[in-house]
Amino acid sequence: MVIDLDQGDRGATIAMLSGAKIKIGSKCIKSKLVKNTYTHFLPERIARHTVEINLDPLRILDIPIKSKKVEIFWSKKDEQVVESRLSAINQFVHIHPFSKGWFRELDSQTIAKIIDYCEQELNIKIVITVAPIKRELEKIDEILRLCQSSPINFSGKLNLNLKQTAALNKKAKLFVGVDTAIPHISAANNTPTLVFFGPTAPDTWGPWNNDLERANYHRNGGVQVNGKHRIISDTKNCLPCNNEGCDNSQISDCLMTLDFDVIKKNINEMLAL
């Protein structure tokens, strides 16, 4: 059996060459050569959460869905690395301010203001994680130069790998970040998760709630609450546009103009839960 959750020709080609008797995939394949590869077709994705979309093969095969909880795992060694780095820190907010898609990011000034607000006004420590790539390492230096406080920065020589980042996140009181992989890790950890959304669709990619086993996000923008998790986005009519920034500039105006008072209010409320 082959299950292809993508909608591209490459997966269809691999499925065709596999020799599998049962091949499940999308009707949206463009290539005529492999268009008729599949024996079973997935339903249209429509406006559904990605967790629900990825469960469609079970529905096609009449396999009962016993749980919709998502999980992530790491080793004891990863846990030990994190514990040694955190030392005596009891409570902290985990911030991961970057995404592979730059157009999903807030400006450095706003991130610095969030860090200072938590550290100076709420008196809770901030722990920052970044990917070990030049752009993010340079940008975190810029953010730290704008900060009036001294957050813990796990980048450069102190950089954590992905599973160590997950282990760190599990210990956080709150996660704050942008639309990328880490909010999904945070949601899988059942850590309260606050995400800023711009061009991408919240109803498809919002943080999944394991307690509710569902997502109730919409595309109208504003503040959206799904159990312990929240999304903040603009209410522009053009959202979600799925563009790589306005006019594909890699900068999304909808993420540059978020109301900082709204951000503070939601951080306060989530930390009080």
pLDDT, tens digit, 9 for 90 and up, residues 117-158:
999 999 999 999 999 999 999 999 999 999 999 999 999 889
Average pLDDT of the chain, as a whole number: 94
The percent of residues above 90 in pLDDT, for the chain, comes to 89
Concatenating the DSSP letter of every residue in 58-80 gives HHHTT-------------HHHHH
Mean pLDDT value across residues 23-28:
91
Mean pLDDT value across residues 66-95:
94
CATH class in words for 76-272: alpha beta
Determine the Cα–Cα distance for residues 89 and 187; give it in Å rounded to an integer: 22
Cα 80 to Cα 74, 89, 170, 172, 175: the distances in Å are 11, 14, 13, 16, 21
Q: What's the pLDDT score for residue 147?
A: 98
Say if residue 35's pLDDT is above 80.
no
Mean pLDDT value across residues 170-181:
97
Q: What's the pLDDT score for residue 140?
A: 96
Say if residue 32's pLDDT is above 80.
no
DSSP type of residue 210 = T
Q: What's the pLDDT score for residue 5?
A: 93
Mean pLDDT value across residues 190-196:
98
Q: Where are the beta strands (DSSP E) in the chain?
A: 2-3, 23-25, 40-41, 92-96, 125-129, 152-154, 174-178, 193-197, 222-226, 229-233
CB 242 within 8 A of CB 104: no
The percent of residues above 70 in pLDDT, for the chain, comes to 100
DSSP type of residue 271 = H
Q: What's the pLDDT score for residue 62?
A: 96
Mean pLDDT value across residues 193-214:
96
Determine the Cα–Cα distance for residues 251 and 119; give it in Å rounded to an integer: 28
Say if residue 205's pLDDT is above 80.
yes
Say if residue 90's pLDDT is above 90.
no
Comparing 197 with 88, the larger pLDDT belongs to: 197
CB atoms within 10 A of CB 186: 28
Q: What's the pLDDT score for residue 20?
A: 96
Say if residue 231's pLDDT is above 90.
yes
Q: Is 215 helix (H, G, I), strand (E, B) or coil?
A: coil
Q: What is this structure's pTM?
A: 0.93
Q: What's the pLDDT score for residue 273?
A: 81
Residue ranges, CATH 3.40.50.2000, the chain: 76-272
Mean pLDDT value across residues 191-206:
96
In the numeric block, which tokens belong to residue 7?
Answer: 């909608």
Sign of CA dihedral 177, 179, 185, 187: positive
Determine the Cα–Cα distance for residues 137 and 161; give it in Å rounded to an integer: 14
Mean pLDDT value across residues 59-70:
96
CB 60 within 8 A of CB 42: yes
